[in-house]
Amino acid sequence: MEDDRVLEVNTPAGPGGKATAARAARSLSLTAIPVVGIGLLILVLPLFVPTFISSLVTKMMIYGLFGLSLNLLWGYGGIPSFGHAAFFGTGGYAAGIMILKAGISNFWLNLVLALLFTAVIAAILGIPAFRVFGVGAGATNPIYFLLATIAFGELLSRMAVALRPLTGGSTGISGIPEPDLGFGFRTTASTYYYLVFVIVAVSVYLMYRIVNSHYGYALRGIHDNERRMQALGYNTWLYKYTSWILAGVFGGLAGVLFAYFGGTMVPNNLAMITSDIAFWLVIIGSTTVFFGPLLAAVLFVGIEYFASIYLPARWPLIFGAVMVATIMLMPNGVGVEVLKLWKRVTRGAA
């Protein structure tokens, strides 16, 4: 499989200064240019496009974060989950409930508390998930783990329906106000765009650092050969468990941003229908390219938008059809193809 792993595993500090310099220049054009370019584009975009477009871009960024968070677990750790919305919804509900029921209006405080809450939920669910059902080396059958991840989302969404006084029951919570950033500053729809941009950019950077850290490479090793990792001295259980929590927290962050974005949170935000989105983002984007799910989020929100205009009743069909077509045409995901293309472009230019 051609992927950016191969790119990333190039020896960093080989002898031969020239080769290293050329490599550094190449990696600069490979990563720095697109990253800065896209960043700038997002920053100036609202000046040139109508608000409904910047609102779509806000959603792309949130979904991109959601997809990346699942990919941390799945693409790097090799742990697939069909219930990632459990964290997305937990983050969103926690934020909404704290504002509306507990009166915690400050955005930052609310964010931190919601993420802590999501981490606790992930830590609790992770114990049966990894200790009882198990995935990877020593697991009886990974299907049980997958079924458990589905069950977690369904369980939490049923709880959201049942705990009506807190959660608003089946209609969910609505009326989440614009974020209050402190010092009397409240975002509007157009400034929220920038808030999301900053938070998502920081999160993407953090996740990038995580997957390239010592910890991140241990996850890759576990993905590739968990038994060997154990033989080499790694407590693989702890890595899997903590990556589940980390992925949960980033997924919860996407949920918090989503709750403020739409002002509402409904039980389906915890359930399969939302988990499917993360799943789609990773499959379409590619599990082997870091930024793949971000690309997929652009596609997802774009297609969703056009489908909602032209074929509103056909959305699930389109969603599935794009998935099938991508798997057939680009089995490694869009991210891999885009990366290949970009490598060709930069090689041509150099």
Partner 1 sequence: MALLETNRIFVHFGGLAAVKGLSLSIEPGERVALIGPNGAGKTTFFNVLTGQIRPSSGSVHFKGMDITNHSVYARTHMGMARSFQITSLFPNLSVMVNVLIALQGIRRGRYDLRRYFLKDKELVAIAQELLESVALWDLRDEKVSSLAYGQQRKLEIALPLASSPDLLLLDEPSCGLTPAESSDITSRIRDLGPKITVLMIAHDMDLVFGVAERVILLHYGEIACEGTCEEIRANQMVKEIYMGSRKSVTGTW
234 binds partner 1 (CB under 8 A): yes
Least distance (Å) between residue 208 CB and partner 1: 10
User: DSSP per residue over 224-259, as a string?
Assistant: HHHHHHHHTT--HHHHHHHHHHHHHHHHHHHHHHHH
* Nearer to partner 1 among residue 226 and residue 337 (C-beta): 226
Least distance (Å) between residue 324 CB and partner 1: 26
Least distance (Å) between residue 2 CB and partner 1: 10
* Nearer to partner 1 among residue 165 and residue 233 (C-beta): 233
For residue 152, what are its two tokens? 């977690």
Interface pattern 154-193 for partner 1 (x via CB under 8 A): ----------------------------------------
Least distance (Å) between residue 239 CB and partner 1: 8
Please report, as a single letter, which amino acid is at residue 35: V
* Nearer to partner 1 among residue 186 and residue 340 (C-beta): 340
* Nearer to partner 1 among residue 9 and residue 163 (C-beta): 9
Residue that is written with structure tokens 């000046």 in the block: 47
Least distance (Å) between residue 216 CB and partner 1: 7
Cα dist from 17 to 12, 24, 26, whole Å: 11, 10, 14
Around Cβ 152, how many Cβ atoms within 10 Å?
A: 27
For residue 141, what are its two tokens? 């059958």
For residue 258, what are its two tokens? 């989503």
5 binds partner 1 (CB under 8 A): yes
* Nearer to partner 1 among residue 63 and residue 76 (C-beta): 76
233 binds partner 1 (CB under 8 A): yes
* Cα 66 to Cα 300: distance, rounded to the nearest angstrom: 12
Question: For the chain, what is the radius of gyration of the CA atoms?
Answer: 20
Stretch that binds partner 1, among 120-128, 233-241, 256-264, 320-328 (CB under 8 A): 233-241
231 binds partner 1 (CB under 8 A): yes
Identify residues 201-230 at the interface with partner 1 (CB under 8 A). Answer: 209-210, 212-218, 220-221, 224-225, 227-230
End-to-end C-alpha distance for the chain, whole angstroms: 25
Around Cβ 70, how many Cβ atoms within 10 Å?
A: 30
232 binds partner 1 (CB under 8 A): yes
16 binds partner 1 (CB under 8 A): no
331 binds partner 1 (CB under 8 A): no
* Cα 138 to Cα 153: distance, rounded to the nearest angstrom: 25
Residues in contact with partner 1, total (CB under 8 A)? 33
Least distance (Å) between residue 47 CB and partner 1: 36
* Cα 260 to Cα 175: distance, rounded to the nearest angstrom: 9
32 binds partner 1 (CB under 8 A): no
18 binds partner 1 (CB under 8 A): no
Work out the angle between the directed axes of helices 315-329 and 272-285 (0-180°, nearest 10). Answer: 30
35, burial (CB in 10 Å: exposed 0-12, middle 13-18, buried 19+):
middle
- Listed in sequence order, the residues at least 6 apart from 15 whose beta carbon sits closer than 8 Å to its beta carbon are none
28 binds partner 1 (CB under 8 A): no
* Nearer to partner 1 among residue 241 and residue 280 (C-beta): 241
* Cα 248 to Cα 88: distance, rounded to the nearest angstrom: 8
Residues composing the chain: 350
Least distance (Å) between residue 131 CB and partner 1: 14
* Nearer to partner 1 among residue 47 and residue 231 (C-beta): 231
Interface positions with partner 1 (CB under 8 A): 1, 5-6, 8-14, 209-210, 212-218, 220-221, 224-225, 227-236
